[in-house]
Amino acid sequence: MEKIRALLNPDEIIESSSPEYSKESKVWSAHKDKHPKLVARPKSIDSLSCLLKALNESDVEFNVRGGGCGSASARDVLISMSAFDGFEFDKEAETVVVGAGQLWRHIDAKVEEFAPGYSVPGARCPYVGVGGGTLQGGVSWMSSEYGLTSDPQNMLDAQVVKMNGDVLWASGDPDLLWALRGAGGRFGVVTAFKLKAYKYPSKVYSGMIFYPRESLSALAKAVPEFAERSTDPKIAVHFYCLDMYQGAFVGKPAVPGIGLLVYDAYGEEHGRSGAGFKWALDIPGATDTTAEMSYREVNNLSDNLEAIRGETNQMMTAVVIPNITEQLILRAWKWYDDTLAEEPKLNAGTFVLIELMQSNAFNSVKSRSETGFPRPNGRHILQLGTGALNRECTAEMHKKAVKALDDGAKQIPDRFSHGDCLPRDFEEIHEPRQMFGENLQRLQAIKKRVDPLNRLKGAYTI
């Protein structure tokens, strides 16, 4: 550890006693925090290169933190990438080069300021990390039109520091670039991405429509009907249970409700019309908080969820599904009710989120083998979460949460396979070999070549 410290400049070392330690090491899911002895925050590629080479030749446990909603941690050294925060916009080429250590809120703000009239297919939640979010696929409001962030037409290149200290743009190693497109970041440490920027409407109709629980039956019929007739890639909607964590934090009982987060890139007039979301606004009990706003403001609608960072023992899974049906919705809410009835204290981390998308989101590549992440044959996403406040989550409660998450993923969809799960949530219930399917052997071969000592441990090395 002292040799590692000697490699870094004093302002690149964050000890556990430092005021910056919590900010640079906090995980999303509290139970995954290993309380590292040292946080290294390299401020240059040269510094990062020297650090990785030394770590590669040691037995020091380390991990790489992008700062988003992942939970990377280590007992010895945690590398924070937050200093890699660059942004360059090339209007002629319609591309941006962004530092991988930022959150998507930083990119949204910079695009709005320095690339007006453009947007980048990033993440829909501003607290998602640029590095982790992109390397694990990347789902955007723009995905229904342009595909995932990591798709070849969007993620054009990535700058990587390998474990031996070599620095390269992955386009010079096509197999490596293929692996980075959705199969995770365990092939090296990515410092920057070159991404496609698209001309995009400056005003979007979006916001929340809230309903009492009594509206579930009407919504369970209306949402699938809308999904069936909606084919426009500029229109999307999220259907979810109202967040219970706020009540959990102050010790109040859960009062379940329902919400729709609507999205229409044609603007407010279209969004409120029959071609948009008039059907949702007309459902009895609807409380309308929608408005016209910028793309950045749409993403910021979920910014308050960052309050749970490091406070809950949160586990998640996301299953790509071909269709949304009335029965699927009713099964999802029954699972939600049954889970909280079995253990009410799981109200801080248990949720249902159904994301209505268009087919291009997972079908903008020619085949499952075109990128490291083999695409499921589906259109929409069913996201489930379980968890409790960290201070209340006993081992028995955690066991219940794991079982509930596994049961929900298998019981709610009309069909289930671990190959339909997005390869971003590696919980104990997941089967990485099935998630990466026919791409697994090629991924393992690339991993063995670029990280032969397996110092950057990843699911595909199992």
DSSP 177-190: HHHHTTS-SBTBEE
DSSP 398-448: HHHHHHHHHHHHHHSSSS--GGGB-TT---TT--HHHHHGGGHHHHHHHHH
pLDDT at residue 462, rounded to an integer: 44
pLDDT at residue 252, rounded to an integer: 55
Cα–Cα distance measured from residue 356 to residue 230, given in angstroms and rounded to the nearest whole number: 9
pLDDT at residue 249, rounded to an integer: 47
In 283-373, at which residue ranges do the beta strands (DSSP E only) sit? 287-288, 291-293, 312-321, 351-356
- What is the reported pTM? 0.94
Domain borders along the chain are 2-80, 87-200, 204-433
pLDDT at residue 163, rounded to an integer: 95
Cβ(317)–Cβ(409) below 8 Å = yes
Angle among Cα 138, 226, 318 to the nearest 5 degrees reads: 30
Residue 255: is it exposed, middle or buried by C-beta count within 10 angstroms (0-12/13-18/19+)? exposed
Cα–Cα distance measured from residue 24 to residue 16, given in angstroms and rounded to the nearest whole number: 10
Cα–Cα distance measured from residue 121 to residue 357, given in angstroms and rounded to the nearest whole number: 14
pLDDT tens by residue, the chain, 462 residues? 888 899 999 999 999 999 999 999 999 999 999 999 999 999 999 999 999 999 999 999 999 999 998 899 999 999 999 999 999 999 999 999 999 999 999 999 999 999 999 999 999 999 999 999 999 999 999 999 999 999 999 999 999 999 999 999 999 999 999 999 999 889 999 999 999 999 999 999 999 999 999 999 999 999 999 999 999 999 999 999 975 544 444 455 555 689 999 999 999 999 999 999 999 999 999 999 999 999 999 999 998 888 889 999 999 999 999 999 999 999 999 999 999 999 999 988 899 999 999 989 999 998 999 999 998 889 999 999 999 999 889 999 999 999 999 999 999 999 999 999 998 888 889 998 899 999 999 999 999 999 999 999 865 554
pLDDT at residue 106, rounded to an integer: 97
pLDDT at residue 424, rounded to an integer: 86
Angle among Cα 258, 260, 262 to the nearest 5 degrees reads: 175
Q: Torsion-angle region of residue 272: left (phi > 0), alpha (psi -120 to 50) or beta?
A: alpha
Parallel, antiparallel, or unpaired: how do β-strands 155-161 and 118-119 relate?
unpaired
Give Cα 385 to chain centroid, integer Å: 13
Backbone angles phi, psi at 312, to 5 degrees: -125, 155
**CATH number, domain 2-80, options 3.40.50.11310, 3.20.20.210, 3.30.365.10, 3.30.43.10:** 3.30.43.10
Structure tokens at 37: 């002895």
Torsional sign, CA 36, 37, 43, 45: negative
Cα–Cα distance measured from residue 233 to residue 48, given in angstroms and rounded to the nearest whole number: 40
Backbone angles phi, psi at 80, to 5 degrees: -90, 130
Strands lying side by side in the sheet with 62-65? 13-15, 38-40, 77-80, 62-65
Residue in this structure with the two tokens 């049961």, named with its chain if needed: 407
Q: How many CB atoms lie within 10 A of CB 166?
A: 13
Cβ(216)–Cβ(333) below 8 Å = yes
pLDDT at residue 251, rounded to an integer: 54
> 85, 177, 195: which is closest to 129 by C-alpha?
85
Architecture per CATH, domain 204-433, reads as 3-Layer(aba) Sandwich (3.40)
Structure tokens at 11: 């302002």
> What single-letter DSSP state applies at residue 452?
T
pLDDT at residue 250, rounded to an integer: 47
**CATH number, domain 87-200, options 3.30.465.10, 3.40.50.300, 3.40.50.720, 3.40.630.30:** 3.30.465.10
